[in-house]
């Protein structure tokens, strides 16, 4: 479960283990969703009055374009995650790094998914590289330089 009642956390730190599927309703249209699901593990604890702290990891697989040569590919993603949740909406409104406690029907659950979604969308594009030494595309003709030199390179060499 990735939405944890506040009263459960108040009773003691919670070990979180869950799965955040690509079909979860938290994702929005146009999001670069994971392939399958993101596995989430961590610990959720009280961090002062009305504040909660999650520390953990999430891992999954992203599908996207290599940021250099633009081929479609899948890439494994593993991220450390530290999240702060606050009951006072003023706190989360003021600070983009603080998330509101707004899960559950009565808003008394800490839902990790909106925060994880945000982190996933922010962090994942940096990971997508088809190989560490991807040569990218020729700026002149757009040829994929991983497949050998294009005709413009040959021209300059001549």
List residues binding Zn ion (CB under 5 A): 66, 68-69, 130, 134, 138, 140-141, 143, 150, 152
Nearest in space to 89 (alpha carbons), one of 112, 114, 106, 107: 107
- Least distance in Å: CB of 150 to Zn ion? 3
- Least distance in Å: CB of 34 to Zn ion? 20
Q: Which of 73/84 has CB closer to Zn ion?
A: 73
Q: Which of 51/135 has CB closer to Zn ion?
A: 135
- Least distance in Å: CB of 35 to Zn ion? 18
Separation in Å, CA 66 to CA 71, 126, 136, 137: 5, 9, 9, 11
> From CA 48, how far away is CA 152, in angstroms rounded?
62
Q: Which of 84/138 has CB closer to Zn ion?
A: 138
Structure tokens at 132: 């560490």
């Amino acid at each position: 479960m990735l939405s944890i009642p506040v009263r459960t956390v108040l009773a003691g730190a919670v070990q979180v283990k869950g799965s955040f599927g690509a079909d979860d309703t938290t994702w929005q249209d146009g999001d670069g969703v994971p392939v399958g699901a993101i596995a989430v593990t961590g610990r959720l604890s009280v961090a002062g009055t009305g504040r909660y702290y999650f520390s953990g990891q999430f891992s999954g697989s992203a599908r996207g374009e290599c940021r250099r040569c633009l081929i479609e590919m899948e890439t494994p993603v593993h991220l450390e995650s530290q999240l702060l949740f606050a009951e006072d909406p003023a706190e989360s409104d003021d600070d983009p790094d603080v998330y509101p406690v707004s899960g559950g029907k009565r808003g008394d659950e800490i839902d990790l998914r909106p925060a994880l979604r945000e982190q996933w969308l922010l962090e994942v594009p940096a990971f997508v590289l088809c190989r560490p030494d991807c040569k990218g595309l020729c700026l002149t003709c757009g040829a994929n330089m991983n497949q050998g030199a294009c005709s413009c390179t040959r021209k300059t060499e001549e």
